[in-house]
Amino acid sequence: MDNKKYEAEINNSKSLVQLNELEIKYLGRNGEINKLLSAIKDIPNEEKREYGQKVNLLKTSIVRSIEMMKKKLSSKKSEVFFDKTMPGKAYPKGSLHIVSFAIEEITNVFEKIGFIRVSYPEVDWEYGAFESLNMPANHPARDDVETSFIDTPAHKTLGKMVLTPHTSNGQNREMKRVGKPPIRMINISKCYRPNWDATHTPMFHQFEGLCVDKDISIVNLKGTLDYFAEKYFGKGTKTRLRPHHFQFTEPSFEVDISCNVCGGKGTVRNAYMRSLQKCKVCKSGWLELGGTGMVHPNVLKEGGIDSKKYSGWAFGFGIERVIMMKYGLDDIRNYYSGDIRFLEQF
């Protein structure tokens, strides 16, 4: 019953398999401990008690040694390096089109001040695209709005069928839909013009705001533009109105927003030369956003609204343009090319 001999054997085992064999050899049904225990019948009675205690002690000691050795051997196994810097399980990641993303952003900004998004035709009569907007046939102002026509007979009173060159055809339709102010409309839609080059695509998106109510003034238009500029482009963004001319508004303006790159200063300080340089993004501190104005009385009348009682403002801005201004995505040709390398980035 040499304790030392067992321990040496246990401690010298090199693997769990070897240790298992020892465990069976010592503690198994026909193992050495059981052999020792069955030998008790040959022990004189007065020594039996002491003998039994000794065998049990030995058994306990062997069990403990095997357990310890087991832990030792298996801990060796868990020393295999666990690399937490490995990437996690891969989940699918698709993408939204950047235009869809911007449409949602813009819709939410206007929804908060009570503007409802509407949906009107993209294929309309000349009446909707022009006449209802105070642009009679043969008016030079139509030059500014190049238009794609549909090859189908003209309507007797409404003119030719066109792809809407702007979202403003929604104005007359919304006026007629509600019948009576208030109007708080945001019309977001595809628009089309026969123009395809580095900075134009034949299809693009606009969002059109229209607000008609009692006592709507330039003050309110400015308030709305400032609200939009801050919410969409970020706090501190300023707007500026400049006179312009559109047939469907009077007065008419162009809106600029302050450049977020140079903070509206028009110049940036060069880090190396410590000199002032012209801002590459805006050149003058301001970026042109689009056209706006107070709804022309003729447009209100055409929509069945009493221009003596009500006034309103309207604007129409390009979605691609605001995306470009906000996110710097300036290669517009990629937008509608379907190139997966462009799409999957968003």
- Binding characters for another protein, 100-139, by CB under 8 A (x = yes): x---x--x-----xx-xxxx-xxxxx------------x-
Report CA-CA distances (Å) from 264 to 165, 324, 327.
31, 17, 17
Listed ranges 5-13, 47-55, 81-89, 219-227: which one lies at the site for another protein (CB under 8 A): 219-227
Instruction: Based on the shown chain and the rule CB under 8 A, indicate whether residue 324 belongs to the binding site for another protein.
Output: no
- With CB under 8 A as the contact rule, the residue among 54, 245, 265, 333 that binds another protein is 245
# chain residues binding another protein, by CB under 8 A: 87
Instruction: Based on the shown chain and the rule CB under 8 A, indicate whether residue 315 belongs to the binding site for another protein.
Output: no
Alpha carbon distance 189, 166 (integer Å): 8
Q: Are 185 and 173 in contact (CB under 8 A)?
A: no
Instruction: Based on the shown chain and the rule CB under 8 A, indicate whether residue 233 belongs to the binding site for another protein.
Output: no
Closer CB to another protein, 26 or 127, in the complex:
127
- With CB under 8 A as the contact rule, the residue among 44, 87, 88, 140 that binds another protein is 140
Instruction: Based on the shown chain and the rule CB under 8 A, indicate whether residue 61 belongs to the binding site for another protein.
Output: no
φ/ψ bin of 315: left (φ > 0), alpha (ψ from -120 to 50), beta (otherwise): beta
Instruction: Based on the shown chain and the rule CB under 8 A, indicate whether residue 145 belongs to the binding site for another protein.
Output: no
Alpha carbon distance 128, 130 (integer Å): 6
CB of residue 194 to another protein, shortest distance in Å: 5
Q: Are 158 and 127 in contact (CB under 8 A)?
A: yes
Buried b (16+ CB within 10 A) or exposed e, 153-176: eeeeeebbbbbbbbbbbbbbbbbe
- With CB under 8 A as the contact rule, the residue among 21, 67, 330, 339 that binds another protein is 339
- With CB under 8 A as the contact rule, the residue among 66, 216, 282, 289 that binds another protein is 216
- Binding characters for another protein, 152-171, by CB under 8 A (x = yes): xxxxx----x-x--------
Which 251-290 positions form the footprint of another protein (CB under 8 A)? Answer: 251-254
In this structure, what DSSP letter does residue 211 have? E
* Residue 135: closest CA among 91, 104, 166: 166
Alpha carbon distance 283, 304 (integer Å): 44
First to last CA, the chain: 76
Closer CB to another protein, 61 or 284, in the complex:
284
- With CB under 8 A as the contact rule, the residue among 219, 269, 270, 331 that binds another protein is 219
